[in-house]
Structure 1
Amino acid sequence: MIPTVVTLTSLAVLARIVVNPLANVFQKQLTQRTANPLFIMSVTYGVLMLVSLGFWTQLRCSDLPIEFWQSMLVSSLFAMFGNVFLVRAIHIGDLSVLGPINAYKAVVGMLFSIFLLNEIPGWWGVAGVLLIVAGSYVVLNDKKQHAGQTGFSGVIGLFKRPEVKLRLAALVLSAIDGAFLKKAIILSTPIIAFFYWCLLGFGFTLIWIVLTMRTSWRGQVRVLFAQKTTYLALCATLGVSQIASNIALATMPVGYALALFQLSALVSVLFGYQFFSEQGILRKLIGAGIMVAGTVLITVLG
């Protein structure tokens, strides 16, 4: 039994590392073809919700505790905002830059633990933060785009970039989402949590669309049918990514799982080069590697 669990968890982590950056590729392709980030996420939630109904025999709602519903509501709400911000960031920024930025999730988690749990990080944790900051500077420091900015002012300038601010906001929201999702999974199963994550996410995005896209949703429907293959590819990859995340969270501490997920930063850099001809790939690979090392130090040793 133990080897089976370990193997399933390992496969889930590996799938998450590879498939999540691929989902980001499809999200960027859709935004380049005039798809709205909010509409993209609403369609994704809706399709995955319908697919989940195929597992109806494994789904239930009558005997789930109130803590489950509370956790799912918070998780789904933060996940929705986080995903929409992420797609908007991907639309205006480079995949090979925004992927590595996700390593700051470990720093956010550490800050939350300081103020909420009074957990003071050790020297390894401080070293991890410094590595993540140094690695992000290597990733973001494009001298052609930031001529004349050096040192501390250069770092501040990098974090004023709109795509970076959106990505940082998305990772903060997803970090909170992950904590509540873990609790919901413990109180149910990865499949049940996935279904209600999709159902509530679809409901929240639909309300958002009704409030903000009354005049533009018809155009987005036309884009949906014109780009249905890419939409389906996105739904498949994001669905696999989220199921894999749920399986990993069910059997691993959240911190360790998040640390392993950061390996996808390296895949994001390679995909940015392969699909969008983004430049400075060697520099970004080095920076992403430094950031991954920092995440590991914070999570495992900090």
Structure 2
Amino acid sequence: MILTLATVTSLAVLTRIVVNPLQNVFQKQLTQRLVDPLFIMSATYGGLTIACLSAWPQLQFAGLPTAFWQTMVVTSLFAMFGNVFLVRAIGLGDLSVLGPINAYKAVVGMVFSIFLLHEIPGWWGLVGILLIIAGSYVVLTDRQSRKSPTQADYVPLWKRPEIKLRLAALVFSAIDGTFLKKSILLSTPTTAFFYWCLFGFGFSFVWIALTMRARWWSQATLVFSQKTTYLALCATAGISQLVSNIALASMPVGYALALFQISALISVLFGYQFFNEQGILRKLIGAGIMVGGAVLITLLG
């Protein structure tokens, strides 16, 4: 039984590592075709909700504790903001840069644990932070920008909107992961997944109603015209989130987040393969350093 559980969890982690960067590829392709990031996420949530209702009629609708609903509302709200900010960042920047930046999630988790749980990091944790900072310098360093810093269009990397959006998404998703773990423990991975989709669609629909009332039909038309990419996005987003839930159900949040960071290496490769992004060797080296730092923080820090 224990061996079976370990096998399922390992398969879930491996699937998530591969599928999540592919999900980002489809999100970036849709933004390049002028689909708004908010509409992308709302349509994704909506499609997944319909799929859940069609495929899993045995989903639990009653008998769930009050704590489940409270944590599910919080996690869905944070997840929605995190995902929308992430897609906006992907639309503006390089996948091979934004993927590795996610390793900072381990640093965010450490900061929250210091103030909320009074967990003081050890020396390995501090080494992990230094590795992430060093790796991010390697990933983000643009030699052409360094040679001409006086150009009018030069913007420091940490002031670029895509980096700011990616960091904001990272913070939201780090908080979301903590509440999601509790929701899963109070129900099942599939039940939490369904309500993650349903509540995410509800929150994003309200956001659209408040900000995109004049554009929602044109956005819907764009999504329909790109239905193959949209369906691929729904499939990869659904698989990525479901296997994440399965992994979180049997692993500490920190361990899972550390292993998920391996996907940074795949993000760099996908950035080159699908979008012809440059500096791939340098970014792979930097991403590898950041992954190592994330693992040190969450496993040994």
Report the TM-score, using the length of structure 2 for normalisation.
Answer: 0.97
Task: Note the 1:24-35 alignment, pairs <5 A.
Answer: 24-35=24-35
3-state SS, counterpart of residue 159 of structure 1: helix
Given residue 70 of structure 2, which amino acid in structure 1 is its aligned partner? Q
How far 1:148 sits from its partner (Å)? 5.0
How far 1:158 sits from its partner (Å)? 1.9
Partner residue, 1:247: 246
Partner residue, 1:180: 179
Partner residue, 1:93: 93
Partner residue, 1:135: 135
Distance 1:29 1:145 in 2: 26
Distance 1:132 1:277 in 2: 25
How far 1:222 sits from its partner (Å)? 1.1
Partner residue, 1:265: 264
Distance 1:221 1:53 in 2: 22
Given residue 226 of structure 2, which amino acid in structure 1 is its aligned partner? Q
Task: Note the 1:1-302 alignment, pairs <5 A.
Answer: 1-147=1-147, 157-302=156-301
How far 1:61 sits from its partner (Å)? 2.5
3-state SS, counterpart of residue 256 of structure 2: helix
3-state SS, counterpart of residue 144 of structure 2: coil
How far 1:54 sits from its partner (Å)? 2.9
How far 1:60 sits from its partner (Å)? 1.4
Deviations 1:38-59 (A, max 9, x none): 0000000000001111344431
Residue ranges of structure 2 left out of the alignment (5+ in a row): none
Distance 2:281 2:108 in 1: 27
Given residue 256 of structure 1, which amino acid in structure 2 is its aligned partner? Y
Residue ranges of structure 1 left out of the alignment (5+ in a row): none
3-state SS, counterpart of residue 142 of structure 2: coil
How far 1:147 sits from its partner (Å)? 3.3
Distance 1:227 1:107 in 2: 37
Distance 1:203 1:66 in 2: 19
Given residue 161 of structure 2, which amino acid in structure 1 is its aligned partner? P
Deviations 1:205-262 (A, max 9, x none): 0000010001111110110111000000000001000001000000100000000000
3-state SS, counterpart of residue 156 of structure 2: helix
- % identical equivalent positions: 73
Given residue 159 of structure 2, which amino acid in structure 1 is its aligned partner? K
How far 1:145 sits from its partner (Å)? 2.8
Q: Is contact 1:16-1:244 (8 Å) kept? A: yes
Q: Is contact 1:58-1:192 (8 Å) kept? A: no
3-state SS, counterpart of residue 145 of structure 1: helix
Aligned length: 298
- 96-105 vs 107-116, which moves further: 107-116
